[in-house]
């Protein structure tokens, strides 16, 4: 499939196992650059299904680092905004001294 345009329509057949698993044909894996562990997104729309590799989104990273260390509390948006404002003022004041 290498070298074919994305608009070219080619059909491939896969088989669903008793566990609901299916094999992505090698030509499709190669064309999309799929590797073991690649997340796939299934979109069902009006009787048709689109299957595509899942792009990493910010929400996919949520909880990746685990819970914060004990004793550390969550920072509010207001506290973040205040810290950003303080950093801007400090940076401006340093630029005036130069």
Percent of the chain with pLDDT over 70: 92
What is the reported pLDDT for 6? Answer: 57
Q: Is 72 helix (H, G, I), strand (E, B) or coil?
A: coil
Work out the average pLDDT over 8-25.
Answer: 90
79 vs 64, more confident = 79
pLDDT digits (tens, 9 = 90+) for 46-56: 999 999 898 77
What is the reported pLDDT for 88? Answer: 94
Separation of alpha carbons 34 and 65, rounded Å: 26
Domains and CATH numbers, the chain: 1-57 (2.10.260.10)
Is residue 7 scored above 70 in pLDDT?
no
Is residue 3 scored above 60 in pLDDT?
no
Which sign does the torsion angle of CA 24, 30, 34, 37 carry?
positive
Task: Kindly report each contact of residues 7-15 with a partner whose C-beta sits within 8 Å and lies 24 or more positions away, as own/partner.
Answer: none
């Amino acid at each position: 499939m290498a070298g074919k345009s994305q608009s070219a329509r080619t059909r491939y057949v896969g088989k669903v196992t008793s566990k609901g698993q299916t094999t992505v044909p090698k030509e499709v894996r190669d064309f999309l650059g799929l590797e073991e562990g690649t997340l796939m997104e299934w979109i069902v729309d009006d009787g048709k299904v689109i299957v595509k590799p899942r792009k990493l989104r910010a929400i996919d990273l949520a909880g990746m680092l685990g819970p914060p260390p004990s004793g550390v509390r969550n920072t509010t948006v207001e506290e973040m905004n205040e810290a950003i404002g303080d950093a801007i003022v400090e940076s401006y004041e340093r630029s005036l001294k130069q």
